[in-house]
Amino acid sequence: MRIYAIAVFLFLYVPIGIIVLFSFNAGRHASELRGLSVQWYGKALSNPFVGDAFVTSLIVALSVAILSSLMGTTAALALQRLKGTPRILFDGLIYISVMIPGIVIGIATLVALVTVFDFLNPLLASIWPEGVKPPKLHMGYASVIAAHTLFTMSLVIILVRARIAGMDRALIEASMDLYATPWRTFYQVTLPQIYPAILAGFLLSFTFSFDDFIISFFVAGANTTLPIYIFSSIRRGITPEVNAIGTMVLAVSLFLLMTAQFFLRARGNR
Amino acid sequence: MREDSKPSHWLTVALLAPTSMWFLFMLILPLIVILVFSFGERSAFGGYSGGFTLEQYANLPSRLKAFQNTMIIAPAGTLLSLVVAYPLAYFLAVRVSRQYKLILLVLVIVPFWTSLLVRTYAWIFILGGRGIPTLLEFIGIEGVRLINTQGAVLVGIVYGYLPLMVFPIFVSLEKLDKTLLEASSDLGGSPFKTFMQITLPLSMPGIATGSMLVFILLMGEFLIPAFLGGGKVFFIGNALVDLFLQSRNWPFGAAVSVTLVVIMLITVSLYMRMIMRSKTGRDESLM
């Protein structure tokens, strides 16, 4: 049984190790290991396309994480007071947005937004003052951020709600009894208790958005995120440079996951 | 409703407003638009032109292969993941001491939250020409082709979704009352009998959750068949990418996505009903 577990762990980690190992390849071909070097990291980092894609991914992921943790937390708090049909409706929508495959979200968002934009653009052009170039709505940052946020917002709601459920309600009642205003009770009692869940939600949202390929592939328009760049590079053939970029992507999510884990475990110390 | 709860009622509405807007504009509306599109016609430029026709749905058999592949490989992949995941989840939940349990579980989950894209392309390396086939040549087995086969796609599936299967099974086994196992062996039950009559039935909720999560995600899978199926083993997801981004046949693509969602809903509800039935059946037998 122990041997089996070790085998499964190897199965999970050897492929990741191989990518990391081959990213330090000194040779020019991806599949032949010829000594170790960091030259491909230098190549990758000085490639302007990689730089642009990285910045795009960073902007998207950061916006998604901020939006999701704000909206997810407020929604989770409000859902505590909601009962009956609205509550069931919300629970259903949260459930659906977590379960629905990314490809369906990508397609539906693409089709819906393009339809709306095709309708709005002539309208905007007609009401815009003469001589000034009217704005043209198109797929881009906003559409990727909005589509990612649908999933991650629901994820934050689930995490924060679990935390609220495990919270000591006596403290809130005590605070109310001592004539604290609701805002003060929230700020000094509720928030300190749920903040590990919010932070973990923030980091997981960032990781999801940073790693997502399929939704971005449909709705990013002309923007290229890092996973889209890697995907199109692989189509042209695997190079050690792609391995270096892949390793950096893995490193970013591993770092964030460890941090998220740290905050989720903070629960045990309270 | 009490008078004094009025302000807090408005606060609840205000706090839920942004989330509701998101659900409305990013989930409900887009799904309705897709449904409308699927009954429309393709315009001359590949976009959408209005109308009501079942033409797109009548055209579905032209993508039959993608549906067949998905409907065969997704359940097979789910089952294979379950078979690989169960012993590991059991080991972590029952055999590992408390001290290492959490860290080992985290080690299983972590890969799931890292880029599936990067992890899957690692297998292009391993299964590709200079990976395992080259190693096999050293020991005299030649001409083995692993990549771009159903087997390669299945390996990719198990690799990608194993953590998602292990976690719910672990949770249900963890909750299992260990004294039941002792009682069974004290009463002379063989380890096999104990497993079949106590452990397995009690871990059913975990198995059900894990299988459903993996199955639903597999139904919409694109990356794994794209990388490891090499155009030979393709899923509905691959057909959708082609229809929306390459051949730009949106109404037909919409019909394919609606069909995918409907198949998913039907399978999941059938599965849930099956689980429910087996559960009530057991409760009755206990009485």
Task: Render pLDDT for B83-108 as a digit per residue (tens, 0 to 9).
Answer: 999 999 999 998 888 888 888 998 99
Q: What are phi and psi of A57, to 5 degrees?
A: -60, -40
For residues B103 and B109, the answer to whether their CB atoms sit within 8 Å is no
Cα→Cα distances B74→A177, A256, B40, B115, Å: 56, 31, 30, 21
For residues A126 and A48, the answer to whether their CB atoms sit within 8 Å is no
Distance CA A72, CA A151 (A): 10
Q: What is the predicted pLDDT for the residue at B39?
A: 93
| Contact state of A31 with B115 under an 8 Å Cβ cutoff | no
Cα→Cα distances A256→A45, A208, B243, B265, Å: 21, 11, 35, 34
Q: What is the predicted pLDDT for the residue at B261?
A: 92
Q: What is the mean pLDDT of chain A?
A: 89
Distance CA B168, CA B10 (A): 38
pTM: 0.89
User: What is the dihedral angle through the alpha carbons of A223, A227, A228, A231, rounded to the nearest 10 degrees?
Assistant: 160
Residue B198 CA, chain-centre distance (Å), reads: 27
| Contact state of B16 with A75 under an 8 Å Cβ cutoff | yes
Q: What is the predicted pLDDT for the residue at A124?
A: 87
Q: Is residue B12 within 8 angstroms of chain A, CB to CB? A: yes
**Overall number of domains in chain A:** 1
Distance CA A96, CA A94 (A): 6
In a domain? residue A200: yes
Residue with the bigger pLDDT between B16 and A167: it is B16
Q: What are phi and psi of A101, to 5 degrees?
A: -60, 145
In a domain? residue A39: no
Alpha helices, H only, chain B: 6-23, 29-38, 55-58, 64-90, 98-109, 116-127, 132-138, 150-175, 178-186, 191-194, 200-202, 204-219, 223-228, 236-241, 250-286
Domain CATH for A244: 1.10.3720.10
B123-151 average pLDDT score: 82
Cα→Cα distances B201→A52, A75, B282, Å: 52, 36, 9
ipTM of the complex: 0.88
Instruction: Indicate whether B70 pLDDT > 70.
Output: yes
In a domain? residue A256: yes
Measured in angstroms, the CA of B178 and the nearest CA of chain A are apart by: 18
Q: What is the predicted pLDDT for the residue at A267?
A: 54
In a domain? residue A140: yes
Q: What is the predicted pLDDT for the residue at B202?
A: 86
Closest CA relative to residue A67, chosen from A151, A185, A184: A151
Structural domains in chain B plus CATH codes: 67-286 (1.10.3720.10)
| Contact state of A16 with B26 under an 8 Å Cβ cutoff | no
For residues A50 and A229, the answer to whether their CB atoms sit within 8 Å is yes
Which DSSP category does A135 fall into? P
For residues A144 and A58, the answer to whether their CB atoms sit within 8 Å is no
CA max distance for chain A:
76
In a domain? residue A36: no
| Burial degree of A150 (CB within 10 A; 0-12, 13-18, 19+) | buried
Q: What is the predicted pLDDT for the residue at A58?
A: 95
**From B30, B124, B245, residue closest to A238, measured CB to CB:** B124
Helix (H) or strand (E) holding B48: strand B48-49
In a domain? residue A29: no
For residues B280 and B204, the answer to whether their CB atoms sit within 8 Å is no
State what percent of residues in chain B have pLDDT above 90: 51
| Contact state of B128 with A31 under an 8 Å Cβ cutoff | yes
Which residue type occupies A157?
A: I
SS3 state at B239: helix
Which DSSP category does B246 fall into? I
Residues 6+ positions from B237 with CB-CB distance below 8 Å: A101, A103, A214, B70, B220, B221, B222, B225
Can you spell out the DSSP letters for A52-77?
HHHHHHHHHHHHHHHHHHHHHHHHHH
Q: Which two three-digit tokens encode residue B281?
A: 């059946």
Q: Which two three-digit tokens encode residue B268?
A: 């999941």
Residues of A in contact with B227 (CB under 8 A): 234
Q: What is the mean pLDDT of chain B?
A: 87
Q: What is the predicted pLDDT for the residue at A74?
A: 93
* pLDDT digit string (tens) for chain A, length 270 residues: 889 999 999 999 999 999 999 888 887 776 677 778 888 898 888 999 999 999 999 999 999 999 999 999 999 999 988 888 989 999 999 988 988 889 999 999 999 999 899 888 888 888 888 778 878 888 999 999 999 999 999 999 999 998 888 887 788 888 888 888 888 888 888 888 898 899 999 999 999 999 999 999 999 988 999 999 999 998 888 888 889 999 999 999 889 988 888 877 765 444
* CB proximity under 8 Å: B 85-124 to A: 87-88, 91-92, 95, 104, 106-108, 110-111, 113-119, 121-124
Instruction: Indicate whether B2 pLDDT > 50.
Output: no
In a domain? residue A156: yes
Interface test with A, best of B115, B125, B147 (most A CBs within 10 A): B115
SS (H, E, C) B101-151: HHHHHHHHHHHHHCCHHHHHHHHHHHHCCCCHHHHHHHCCCCCCCCCCCHH
Residues 6+ positions from A214 with CB-CB distance below 8 Å: A102, A103, A106, B222, B223, B237
For residues A207 and B215, the answer to whether their CB atoms sit within 8 Å is no
For residues B213 and B85, the answer to whether their CB atoms sit within 8 Å is no
Asked which of A152-161, B18-27, B253-262, B275-284 is least confident by mean pLDDT, the reply is B275-284
Residues of A in contact with B34 (CB under 8 A): 107-108, 111-112
Instruction: Note down the domain range covering A115.
Output: 54-269
Q: What is the predicted pLDDT for the residue at A31?
A: 67
pLDDT band at B176 (very low <50, low <70, confident <90, very high): confident
